[in-house]
Every structure is written in structure tokens, then in C-alpha cells.
Amino acid sequence: MLIAREKRKENLAEYILYMWQVEDMLRAFQMEIRQVEQHLVAGFRVDEATRREIGEWYDNLIEMMKREEVTTRGHLQVVKNAMNELSELHLYLLHREMESHYRRLYADAAPHIEVFRQKSGLSREIPDVEVVLQALYGQFLLRLQKKDIHSQTRQAMETFSRMIAYLAAKYKQIEENEKG
């Protein structure tokens, strides 16, 4: 909850990746709040009120995942909405004259996006931004498992990282301008 709140404010792409990780952890704990409290909540070094709030946040996520029927696969609607926001910004920036830098970043990533889409069997209907985030999440999982990542894959991931970093920074800038 604390991490998610901060990531949502600072970097929408990191928030999405973090929430995918949380969804996967909740699935690993079979949506059992007792296990979540024992293995996740107990690890937070916070006061008791905050610990209770964190536990309630995980419990609410479990309930949402059950209600939205994403306990075995898929993503919460709130996470899909964040993904849609990034995808819409991506399309907007591609058509904006003043965004030649983003178009270059996307052009560098585009061939790798198609390769990843094909190798992963992803539909053409899945937006490029989601494909990129899936690739980055896959790389994260490989790193957790301490598996080797081929140099060509690392190069592709670097183009994805640059594209997503720019997109997330632009999203934050737009949000801050709208608030201020």
C-alpha cells in the first residue's frame, strides 16, 4: 500500500509493474490473508496502526481480485485503467509534432516489440505499451530467478526501458501541470 501509493504518484509504469507483482504474490499465497499477513505484512517496519492499514489494503485487493475473477490470471481493473492511461499517452505523443524524441525512442523499440509479441504469442490487439511492460516484467522475473538474459534481449529491454521511462515521466509532468 505504501509502496503502491508512492509509485502511483511518482511513476505510473513502475506502479503497474509493482501491482502485477502484488497480484502474483497474492496468487502465490492462494488469496489467503493469513499467509499474506505472515509473509508480507509482518515484514514492514511500521507502527501497529499502519500495519493494520497495510493488512486491510492486501485484504481489499484479495476481495477485488475475487470479485473481478482475476485470482488465477489477468489484472485488476484499476491496473488496467492505469495501463490504458499510459497507452493513450503513448498514442498522443506519437502524433504530436513536438515529440520527435519520443518517436525516436519508440522507433528504436518497435522492432523489438514485434519480436517479443511474436515470441510470446501476444495478440496484435494488445497495445504496444502493454507488450513492453510485459517484457520488462518478464525480465524482472528472470532476474529474480537469477537466470541469464541473452545480450540481444538485454539490448531490447534497454530500448523498452528508455521508452517507458520517458512515457512515465511525461505522464507525471502532465499530471502535475493539471494539478498546479
Q: Note whether 26 and 83 are same-domain residues.
A: no
Does some domain include residue 73? no
The C-alpha atoms of residue 151 and residue 134 are separated, in whole angstroms, by 18
Relative orientation angle of helices 128-144 and 100-120, to the nearest 10 degrees: 70
Task: Read off the pLDDT band of 180 (50, 70, 90).
Answer: low
Are 57 and 92 within one domain? no
Segment 46-76, tens digit of pLDDT = 999 999 999 999 999 999 999 999 999 999 9
In a domain, 16, yes or no: yes
Q: How long a stretch of residues is the chain?
A: 180
Residue 114 lies in a domain: yes
- Domain match, 53 and 84 both: no
- Structural domain ending residue among the three candidates 67, 102, 123: 67
Domain span at residue 46 reads 2-67
pTM of model > 0.85 = yes
For residue 74, tell me if it sits in a domain.
Answer: no
On whether residue 138 sits in a domain, the answer given is: yes
Q: Which of 145, 105, 153 is nearest to 129 (CA)?
A: 105
Residue 137 maps to a domain: yes
- Tens of pLDDT along 69-104? 999 999 999 999 999 999 999 999 999 999 999 999
Quick check: is 86 in a domain? yes
Domain count, the chain: 2
Q: Within this chain, do residues 173 and 114 fall inside the same structural domain, yes or no?
A: yes
Q: Of 67, 94, 118, which residue constitutes the final position of a domain?
A: 67
- Considering the domain boundaries, does residue 72 fall inside one? no
83 & 169 share domain: yes
